[in-house]
Structure 1
Amino acid sequence: MAFQGASTSSLSSFTRWWTYDVFLSFRGEDTRQNFTAHLLQALDRKKINTYIDYKLRRGEEISEELLKAIESSRISIVVLSKNYASSTWCLDELMKILECRKTKQQKVLPVFYGVNPIEVRHQRESFGKALAKLKERFKDESKVERWKATLTEVAGLSGFTLGDRYTTSTPLYAFI
């Protein structure tokens, strides 16, 4: 037996702290109807409890419900696509995800969907353009700098680089 000799009190502390196995972060207009939908189906088939924001109302700021879902997830899969950085919602989600990586040891798996990790790391191409627009839009330049640092950090994590189609022979859920 795995717990032979363990006291009852030590067994009671061995409970899971998360509500969701996976939190999916993605830019809806880029991947909701293709890659993210297929990934969600694959995770569901494997009975992996996944949080996805289909039911949330959109607004200016990230909702408390979404922040709680991020905090109560064991793993976050971040699908970084061409328009990901144009969404302040996605960027705020990503900041929270990386905070949970540090404070809760949450695993973070980036998926570079149709973008190169170098574009994300150095904010080139669509990422650079999106951040330049956000810099013009926001008076608080420090917020844009935090988003840049967050993108640099996530681009440094080991993940998957995919073209417009799911081309890897190893399914993502194999790493969860």
Structure 2
Amino acid sequence: MASTSYSTSMIPPQRLYTYHVFLSFKGEDTRTGFTSHLYAALNRNGITTYIDDNNLRKGDLISYELLRAIEESVFAVIVLSPNYTSYTWCLDELCKILHCNNDLPQHIVTVFYDVDPSDVRHQKGTFQYAFRKYQHRFGEESENVKRWRHALTQVAAYSGWHTKNQ
């Protein structure tokens, strides 16, 4: 009878999570309404949720803290709203979330808040306006602009909840 031995290096290490959910959203669109209600409901149900204004410690670098929180979350809830793309940090967060979804066992949930998924996918409406500004600011062939566009196209393909006209 052949003996099979397993090396501990063959077993993937168990990931440690700090948060169940990371919330990605544009504050001016949803912070005091939809996102704050979602955050409260998740917490009431014992779901540890990262939201930027409650979890940032004074003195920490915002970018490092947010990137680490994304990596340490089981789920990422992306609330895509009309002005989501008006802030480059939201787009960088989105790219990081998609990277974690591909490389780590992380799940994505999308909420299309007052936007049509087609507008997100094809960068129409307010998304088009934001990208015109970015192309002017960073150049037509900017790698960041290409990466952000690709990320929006990818995330728009996820099934999610639509709140438009509801």
Same topology, TM > 0.5: yes
Q: Determine if the alignment matches structure 1 residue 31 to structure 2 residue 30.
A: yes
Map of 2:75 onto structure 1: 75
Query: What is the letter of the counterpart of residue 97 of structure 1?
Result: I
TM-score normalised by structure 1 residue count: 0.80
Work out the number of aligned pairs and report it: 151
TM-score normalised by structure 2 residue count: 0.84
Deviations 1:18-71 (A, max 9, x none): 1100000000000000000000011011110000000549xxx96111100000
Pick the structure with more helix per residue.
2
Matches within 5 A, 1:1-176: 17-55=16-54, 56=56, 63-139=63-139, 141-163=142-164, 167=166
RMSD of aligned C-alpha atoms?
2.1
- SS of 1:47's equivalent? coil
Gaps spanning 5+ residues in structure 1: where?
A: 1-8, 168-176
Mean Cα deviation higher: 13-22 or 94-103: 13-22
Moved over 6 A (4+): none
- SS of 1:17's equivalent? coil
Distance of 1:130 and 1:62 partners within structure 2: 23
Map of 1:171 onto structure 2: none
Mean Cα deviation higher: 138-147 or 83-92: 138-147
Change (3 A) 1:147 1:19: same
Q: CA deviation at 1:163?
A: 2.4
- Fraction of identical pairs, as percent: 51
